[in-house]
Structure 1
């Protein structure tokens, strides 16, 4: 008996979903023939580490971990360099905006590219660009030639490379593991990002303290070199196309049409935007939290970012277990409350150890929400459009963080660092109220087709 994945959200599915264009007909919706040995929800027998049994997934996971490590170390170097060449809060916050804005601008285009072209080659090209940019940053910082605009421009270019890499990476996960392991694989992907965010900033802070930003950029370039080596040696077998080839412009339009007509995807994107806007202050202003609120230097900045990342590691490891017992709506609501409370304590804490502890807790909350958003998008998207759906998710989170970083930076310029971080925390505490009108969909579940 042929099976397919029927979407059963807790709320009534609106009629707009049934009026999608022909490209989103039933034969293109998610079906289990792609992964017939699994169900759509998290398996009772799958553990958080089950996807690592698949050899190619393990290799890609390690390669991506190296890339994220390079990103984290580069971010510390760029942010701390800006505190020395243009130390105002809005300029420091613009480093975060420059890193995340390209993802908001170009992710949908990158998603279409991921669906249309060989994803291995796309990822290889993106990592090569990131490698070249980091080498340039290292040379410029070493020669003391990196002004604020040049630093922001190269950081923007680095973010562009990451925006192209991300959708191809995430769209490849479904090729590397069976569907039963997909939620665990997504969580492990987030785990790798946050392992890098926990270890990378601490390493980056130490490198900057010892050798300056130039050394941090050089270390990042080495990390990207390792990732490009793995990608160059991957012998990928592209899966068969589910629909005829289309141009990039049409592919982008089709992806937007699909998202507009799918209530579940639309809801997740709106909740993601709200989460990124409200919670971006701590990420953007962390260098100034370390310098002004705690009175410490680059190493403390790295430790604070590392605490957020370490908490996210814990959250990612717990995500599979929590998803068995809590609804997606309950997870997202709890995540907003936990992260918001952590931001408020951070705003008023003058002690590094206390701030690190609450940021660990806040990081766990942050990743619970992002993992849940990501998994829901993966499970509700048919394979022919999954790259574009994931790119829209990336556009939502990173675009909202870029805009939020800029807004919180200006808020901090007028009212102070502590006020900005505390207000951001208060906004996150209120965010669960969105669930009253935009309730998170449940996971898609499999039903036999009659």
Structure 2
């Protein structure tokens, strides 16, 4: 992707709507991190066991693992703005409950975990939708910069929120800290009410929830570029999660700090992430995504190993700056690649799959490292996680990340099918034949392209795909694919990307028959009972 002179790392902020929503999100995340500091520190007072501390991290991440995919479906079929407002109201209610329970002295471990879990549900509902609106706010050429700015905004909040939360917690207590978080939701809701996106036209091919869920899962299963991103994300975050799951105990036990110092620790991570985000465009240009992700794994491993040695506080804070750099590099690279390998029609669902893997890795890793720390001890667990992550940073390069440079905008190049009469949308399954005549010497190259095209067919809605040859004439080949219904095939017409159409054009060059390859649409008949004598 080329960068024009008027673009750059901060170019999306020149888009007014993006800038307003970005600022509101930063303020909202400041409040969320203040809440997280209060919850993370309170659990060390409610229970000294590592498993209980790690359970808070898991309670926040597990709902995203469980509900992100249904949330992604809702992000693609509902009004995204109204949906976000409703989710913000839910999260505000969670903070209000935490504030009231803290003020009354009734907050215990069970209620803290339960409310953290409900807050995680809100995060699960919000995550795919918030990320899915980004392409509507900026030009495509600024998409990666916008994703990077979103990550930068999170880490600006990570640098300010924990420090502010630690001060509030140490000075006025948890109730005030939760109350400050509650106020930030009002700012986010106000920004969403101000935003007036262009109303979408009524879509006669709008998907119901069940069909949209199946189509989204089919696309995720067929998108090979997405598979590589998910694999690398799962491996990195499952092992890097040890740093986050055990950080409250590191602050309390190894560094002998209080709540305010714990907030400073998290603030150091956020500050490092800001620096990492600003340097990332130049680093990515020099090293590439794969090398940077390996460096991020090494940095994270080095920080965990150093913290295990109970260093002086100043040295620990310096190390946490590097942890922030590593975290922002991994988040931005994997998040931006996920955006670029997804077409817009399934963006919310695809991002939900990514968030499911990301948060599943965090939740599973947090619980696992907490359990290991129960038996092995805090120091031994940190050293084990560091050694494993350092080795994994090298091994994972066997599965290189995709370039993310395919044009996935709808091509709208398929002609309207010729019909003898009206076809009910629910009728199906539909079998589509594309008939080619290919010389024997061209078969290997032709079949290699067909295999690439098959991923697009399945990703755009086909439930099955194959290629056959005529037993009497092996040069006559038929590519076939199956759609669940006629309406789903019409949706496929609107989904097929420019990359897929370019692949089809290359296939057509091998066709030696008269005219273009013949396309047939075969509709399944109702079963006819056999004659009974």
TM-score (norm 1): 0.88
Q: 1:356 to 1:242 in 2, by over 3 A?
A: farther
Structure 1 segments unaligned to the other structure (5+ residues): 1-39
Matched residue, 2:388: 427
**What corresponds to 2:275 in structure 1?**
314
Total equivalences in the alignment: 411
Q: Which residue of 1 aligns with 2:253?
A: 292
Task: Provide closer, same or farther for how the CA distance between residues 115 and 238 of structure 1 changes in structure 2, counting only shifts above 3 A.
Answer: farther
Q: Is the 8 A contact 1:329 1:441 kept in 2?
A: no
Q: Does 1:344 align with 2:305?
A: yes
Q: Deviations over 1:194-233 (max 9, x none)?
A: 1111111111111110011111111110111211111122
Determine the structure 2 residue equivalent to 1:104: 65
Distance (Å, rounded) in 2 between the aligned partners of 1:268 and 1:372? 9
Q: Distance in 1 between matches of 2:175 and 2:125?
A: 25
Moved more, 376-385 or 320-329: 320-329
For the residues of structure 1 that align with 2:70 and 2:102, how far apart are their CA atoms? 32
The CA distance in 2 between the partners of 1:99 and 1:406, in whole Å, is 12
Query: Given that residues 47 and 320 in structure 1 are in contact (C-alpha distance below 8 angstroms), is that contact kept between their aligned partners in structure 2?
Result: no
Is the counterpart of residue 389 in structure 1 residue 364 in structure 2?
no
The equivalent residue for 2:98 is: 137
Question: Alpha-carbon deviations, 1:172-210, whole Å to 9, x = none?
Answer: 000000011100000000011111111111111111100
| 3-state SS, counterpart of residue 55 of structure 2 | helix
User: Where do residues 259-298 of structure 1 align in structure 2 (5 Å cutoff)?
Assistant: 259-298=220-259
Alignment of 1:147-226 (within 5 A): 147-226=108-187
Deviates more, 1:77-86 or 1:126-135: 77-86
For the residues of structure 2 that align with 1:405 and 1:77, how far apart are their CA atoms?
19
Q: CA RMSD in A?
A: 1.8
SS of the residue 2:105 aligns to: coil
Indicate conservation of the 8 Å contact 1:183/1:320, yes or no. no
With normalisation by structure 2, the TM-score equals: 0.74
CA distance in 1, matches of 2:323, 2:201: 42
**Cα offset, 1:161, TM superposition:** 0.8
Contact 1:243 1:384 in 2 (8 A): no
Aligned 8 A contact 1:209 1:299 in 2: yes
Corresponding residue to 1:355 among 309, 312, 316: 316
Distance in 1, Cα, partners of 2:220 & 2:5 = 30
Shift of 1:234: 1.5
Instruction: Pick closer, same or farther for the CA change 1:169–1:259 going to 2, 3 Å.
Output: same
> CA distance change for structure 1 residues 359 and 243 in 2, over 3 Å: closer, same or farther?
farther
Q: In 2, Cα distance between the equivalents of 1:414 and 1:43? A: 55
Q: CA deviation at 1:49?
A: 0.7
Q: Measured at CA, do residues 43 and 286 of structure 1 come closer, stay the same or move farther in structure 2, by a change above 3 Å?
A: farther
Q: Indicate if the aligned counterparts of 2:91 and 2:119 stay in contact, CA closer than 8 A.
A: yes
> Pick from 45, 48, 70: which aligns with 1:84?
45
**1:208–1:298: 8 Å Cα contact kept in structure 2?**
yes
Match of 1:416 among 365, 370, 377: 377
Quick one: distance in 2 between partners of 1:242 and 1:273? Answer: 36
Q: Does 1:113 align with 2:74?
A: yes
Counterpart of 2:34? 73
1:371 aligns with 2:359: no
Aligned CA distance change for structure 1 residues 431 and 152 (closer, same or farther; 3 Å): same
The structure carrying a bigger helix percent of its residues is: 1
Greater C-alpha radius of gyration: 2
Query: Pick from 18, 24, 37: which aligns with 1:63?
Result: 24
